[in-house]
Amino acid sequence: MEAVHTIEELRMKQALPLDVKVRMTKIRIREWINEWGEDGVYVSFSGGKDSTVLLNIVREDYPNVPAVFVDTGLEYPEIREFVKGFDNVTWLKPKMTFKQVINKYGYPFFSKEVSEVVQGARTYLTRLLNENTIVQTDRQTDRQTDRQHKLCLRLRTADENGQILTPPSNFYRRTTRRNTSTNTRQTDCLELASADEYV
């Protein structure tokens, strides 16, 4: 994903006076209203400081724009009470509780980048497992890797159709280790932290 603004542009915008920032925000809001209509937009309202300020700015010019609050079950009671103090707020509840989401999909990651890397690793390893291209490594030579809670996979270079199997480079690091049984260096290992989460 390509960045829309450079770091320098973002720093310049952050340094602008507050009244200029509010005017720029109102211009952007007006553009959205002109594009989608007042009944085609809403403010995603968490009850936090940022969405509260945004809702206030929107409703200064467009008082009928609705807000939508998603009650995940994790919000503080004070947040729920605060949101109840606003008019024209639609409350939504997810079909799955947070606990059900964790049980089904795993714990959420810190960023989209991290989750994309993990998804790439899962996809690649699932493909390897489905195509039976993983050769188990010798337990004795991998004792050090096991102690570090990492997964070391020795991969064939191609599947039965001659398709080269190359993992995405952004989810692993290639390691070099000495094979004690043959006294040679091997560079065919992929190391993934918390490997049991990827498989």
Q: State the CATH number of the domain containing residue 57.
A: 3.40.50.620
Task: Name the pLDDT band for 104 (thresholds 50, 70, 90).
Answer: confident
Strand duo 67-70 + 43-44: pairing:
parallel
Q: Quick check: is 2 in a domain?
A: no
- Is the entire prediction scored with pTM above 0.85? no
Would the pLDDT of 85 be above 50? yes
**Residues paired with residue 92 on neighbouring β-strands, in sequence order:** 70
Question: What average pLDDT does this structure show over 4-20?
Answer: 90
Nearest to 109 by CA among 101, 46, 34: 101
Spell out the alpha helix ranges (H) of 74-111: 77-84, 98-105
In the listed set 45, 76, 102, which residue is the last one of a domain according to the structure? 102
In 53-181, DSSP assigns E strands to: 67-70, 89-92, 134-135, 150-155, 173-179
pLDDT of residue 177: 53
Q: Quick check: is 39 in a domain?
A: yes
Mean pLDDT across the chain: 75
pLDDT of residue 51: 96
Q: Which domain holds residue 194?
A: 109-198
Residues 11 and 97 in one domain: yes
Contact between 25 and 55 (Cβ < 8 Å): no
Residues 82 and 141 in one domain: no
Residues 41 and 83 in one domain: yes
In the listed set 102, 133, 149, which residue is the last one of a domain according to the structure? 102
pLDDT per residue as tens digits for the range 112-139: 777 778 778 888 888 887 776 555 555 5
Residues 69 and 103: their CA atoms lie apart, in Å, by 24
